Amino acid sequence: MKQIIVGNWKMNGLSADADALAGALATELAALPTRADVVVCPPFTQLARLAPKLKAAGIALGAQDCHKDASGAHTGDISAPMLVDLGVQYVILGHSERRAEHHELDETVREKAVAAMAAGLTPIVCVGENDDQRSSGDSQATVGWQLEGSLPQGFTGIVAYEPIWAIGTGQAASQQDIADMSAFIRAELVRQFGEAGKTIRILYGGSVNARNVTDILPVEHVDGALVGNASLKAESFVPLVRAARAS
């Protein structure tokens, strides 16, 4: 499967930052082989501004959340058709920060994934255990429940394994941890979806950078990376994408 590198800006980026990064990506990445797809997920406020610039650079646009309904009385929310209307192709759902800060449950994430697919978006559904669950040996059980609860029937999106204990720490999970969990996720996907489960891409996220990405991408069942901090600046994101495309 073709690798995919997804940059998640989280709640970062004003217009000047968006322009700088899009400009650098367009000039630096245009000449590289397109061995890995690249997706940039800025905050909602920068989607319209970035859409034409990223498209010209062959980079896809993603959002960081969507509502389960297509429209209606939901003040402050953004629907999947609204994202499609702007040229968005991907949407991150159930990120651990949304699960924690916005009390999103597996069921909420599943409903959003249904809405995203119905609108023609590719959902990137995040799963991952926290430190306590890991120390009590419950990593796989936790992720298993999240997959079961968060992925709707006929799921055709992407799964991102993001161990909460590795996010924003500068310390990615070990190759062994990533290999064990990715193999487990693959087996769960096949159990849930049969043959189709083999075609769902699995990403790793949590302190991925230009140095460690070349250790992470070759791990069996890993089909790409979901990148936070290192996706914010051209100095860190361009070398990361370059390394991914060269690996």
Q: Is 9 annotated as a binding residue?
A: yes
| Residues between 145 and 164 with contacts to ligand 13P, criterion CB under 6 A | 162
**Closest distance between ligand 13P and the C-beta of residue 235, in Å?**
15
Binder to ligand 13P among 21, 80, 227, 243 (CB under 6 A)? 227
Q: Quickly list DSSP for the chain.
A: --EEEEEE--S---HHHHHHHHHHHHHHHTTS--SEEEEEE--GGGHHHHHHHHHHTT-EEEES--BSSSSSS-TT--BHHHHHHTT--EEEES-HHHHHHS---HHHHHHHHHHHHHHT-EEEEEE---HHHHHTT-HHHHHHHHHHHHSPTT--SEEEE--GGGTTSS-PPPHHHHHHHHHHHHHHHHHHHGGGGGGSEEEEESS--TTTHHHHTTSTT--EEEESGGGSSHHHHHHHHHHHHH-
The span from the CA of 191 to the CA of 198, in Å, is 10
Is residue 124 involved in binding ligand 13P (CB under 6 A)? no
Q: Which is nearer to ligand 13P, 85 or 131 (CB)?
A: 131
| Residues between 90 and 119 with contacts to ligand 13P, criterion CB under 6 A | 95
**Closest distance between ligand 13P and the C-beta of residue 205, in Å?**
4
The residue type found at 11 is M
**Closest distance between ligand 13P and the C-beta of residue 206, in Å?**
5
For residue 209, give the nearest of 172, 174, 165, 181 by alpha carbon: 172
Contact 128, 161 (CB under 8 A): yes
**Closest distance between ligand 13P and the C-beta of residue 95, in Å?**
6
Binder to ligand 13P among 229, 241, 243, 244 (CB under 6 A)? 229
Binder to ligand 13P among 59, 173, 181, 226 (CB under 6 A)? 226
Binder to ligand 13P among 123, 163, 206, 224 (CB under 6 A)? 206
95 is catalytic: yes
Q: Is 212 annotated as a binding residue?
A: no
Catalytic residue among 95, 104, 129, 188: 95
Catalytic residue among 104, 111, 129, 162: 162
Binder to ligand 13P among 143, 167, 203, 216 (CB under 6 A)? 167
Is residue 168 involved in binding ligand 13P (CB under 6 A)? yes
Is residue 207 involved in binding ligand 13P (CB under 6 A)? yes
- Pick out the residues of the known binding site: 8-10, 168, 207
| Catalytically active residues, by annotation | 95, 162
- Pick out the residues of the known binding site for substrate: 8-10, 168, 207
